[in-house]
Chain A
Amino acid sequence: MTTPSLEIKDLAFAYPDGNQALFGVNLTVGQGERVALLGPNGAGKTTLVMHMNGIHPAAHGEVKVAGQLIDASDKANLRSIRSKVGIVFQDPDDQLFMPTVGEDVAFGPYNMGVRGDELNRVVIEALELVGMTEFKDRPPHHLSFGQRRRVAVATVLAMKPEILVLDEPSSNLDPASRRELADILRSLAITIVMVTHDLPYALELCERAVILSGGIIVADKQTREILGDKNLLQAHRLELPVGFSI
């Protein structure tokens, strides 16, 4: 059996103000798997994501990425972890901070020590994957929201991560951009963890889904099975869109 891309064991976390967000999360994601992380607002989804690349250090329990234990006190370890876990944040304007698209995509690989022609090649490759090559020299604020989201995906793909974590990838997208992004995500041979409230999107893209509620994983099954369980969904403030049935 290959090493899982992500292994979370007994992870618990409380914010400095005493507010506990995670109460012992266990989650294993195999290589190449696409998993939807579902859950109501305030369930701790974002907190969990922040543990996947060591932004929040694990207070209790452990997180392993591709077999490597995250050790937040070791800078070299964090650097290597962050090159393995690519997080696409919800608001592309938070993620795209460089003056041009190309420079932004170069930001991650540059921090990993890639330079010169190699850097240029990596940037072009990543932009090709999301179909945004011709926008390389444009400033991000001239792009549409959907295009910015795609560039945000490219910025982390450029780091050749082991695992891609997306926070609400379909939010604020028009239907066509939403589908285009789905096509792009499907075309990537990479492990994906997708945080979303968009249940049909989860069904479309992910074989497996987990529900995080009240700081623990309360369900971990096939997406179809979870979305078909009306009582389970209701208990955790999740709902399928009106008229949608499985």
Chain B
Amino acid sequence: MHQLPSHVKIIAALFFIFVSIATPISTWGAFIGYLIVILITAKVAKIPLFTLGKRALIEIPFIFFAILMPFFGKGEIVNVGPFDLYKDGIEAALSIVAKGTIGVLTAVILSTSTTAREILRGLERLKLPRMMVQIATFMLRYVNVISDEMERMKIARESRGFEATGIKHWKILATVAASLFIRSYERGERIHLAMLSRGYAGELPHEESRHVPLVRWAIALSAPLVALLILLITTGMDK
């Protein structure tokens, strides 16, 4: 799983997510099937369930809005305990939660089994515009440099007795953000100079694309294909 070429994995993950989006929420079985496929994939990739769960927490803010949906709407009303909920709202909310969770879990598996650098290489092989890949590459390289710089500036502020506690300090924080921006911008210029000095002409080095054996494709695509099969079977049963 960790050895699969990244662009193959990206395609497989996208394919899997598309299948789950295409599934109507009324076909319950399908989503359980997808979840099982995901758990098996995680098992094969040797990703502990705990890690998977922890990283998937990023979804929570999105679910928050889904939870509100059953309370607003119109049409048929269902009584659930003390609440009067709208049936359409419940379905829409469940749909968002189920598909969102499947999508997030898939992305977590992709990002856990692939380094950020490899994902970028994969995107490059998938012919994503070069400029976008380069910008993302630089972001990956400099996110630490800039966060260190931010940390040092914070320490320097605190050393002079400043601690941001409330809205009255926003003005100062805005100045900080501005100076961080200027610094980064100037660093960008210096980097560009350093690149020109080494003959930069619009292209970053990349590996020549290697031929990916069909077996690898088959392994990677097995998960979304199983998902597609589940979709066809469950919707078939409904009719």
Interface residues of A (CB under 8 A from B): 50, 53, 55, 79, 82-83, 85-87, 89, 91, 93-100, 103, 106-108, 110-112, 115-116, 119, 139-141, 155-156, 159
Contact = CB atoms under 8 A, between A and B. Distances in A.
Contacts of A115: 208
A51 to B, nearest CB: 12
Given A99-B117, A141-B144, A83 B199 contact: yes
Interface stretch (B6-14, B68-76, B153-161, B187-195): B187-195
Contacts of B204: 98, 107
A102 to B, nearest CB: 10
Q: Output the residue of A93, A95, A107 with the most chain B CB within 10 A.
A: A93
Interface residues of B, number: 25
Contacts of A85: 197
Contacts of B187: 93-94
B54 interface: no
A111 B197 contact: no
Contacts of B212: none
B199 A99 contact: no
Interface stretch (B80-88, B135-143, B231-239): B135-143
Given A82-B196, A82-B198, A108-B199, 16 more contacts: A86-B198, A89-B194, A93-B145, A93-B187, A94-B190, A94-B191, A95-B194, A97-B195, A99-B117, A99-B137, A106-B205, A107-B204, A111-B200, A111-B201, A139-B141, A156-B197
21 contacts: A79-B201, A82-B196, A83-B199, A85-B197, A89-B193, A94-B191, A94-B193, A96-B141, A98-B141, A99-B117, A99-B137, A99-B141, A107-B195, A107-B200, A107-B205, A108-B199, A110-B205, A119-B205, A141-B144, A141-B145, A156-B198
A87 B117 contact: no
Contacts of A53: 197
Contacts of A82: 196-199
Given A79-B199, A159-B199, A94 B205 contact: no
Contact of A112 (B190, B191, B199): B199
**The 7 A-B residue pairs with the shortest CB-CB distance in the complex, in nearest-first order:** A111-B199, A110-B205, A108-B198, A94-B190, A141-B144, A95-B194, A99-B117
A59 B138 CA distance: 33
B18 to A, nearest CB: 29
A116 B200 contact: no
Contacts of B203: 110-111
Contact of B137 (A98, A140, A141, A156): A98
Nearest to A137: B117
A97 B197 contact: no
Given A89-B190, A91-B190, A116-B208, A97 B141 contact: yes
Interface in B104-141: 117, 120, 137-138, 140-141
A141 B140 CA distance: 11
A220 B138 CA distance: 41
A92 to B, nearest CB: 10
B82 to A, nearest CB: 54
Nearest to A111: B199
Contacts of B142: 93, 97
Nearest to A90: B190
B138 A97 contact: yes
A97 B141 CA distance: 6
A85 B204 CA distance: 20
A97 B193 contact: no
Nearest to B198: A108
A83 B200 CA distance: 11
Contacts of B138: 97
B141 to A, nearest CB: 6
A111 B198 contact: yes
B95 to A, nearest CB: 38
A89 B138 CA distance: 18
Given A99-B137, A99-B140, A55 B198 contact: no
B133 to A, nearest CB: 12
Contacts of B205: 98, 103, 106-107, 110, 119
Contacts of B145: 93, 141
Contacts of A103: 205
A159 to B, nearest CB: 6
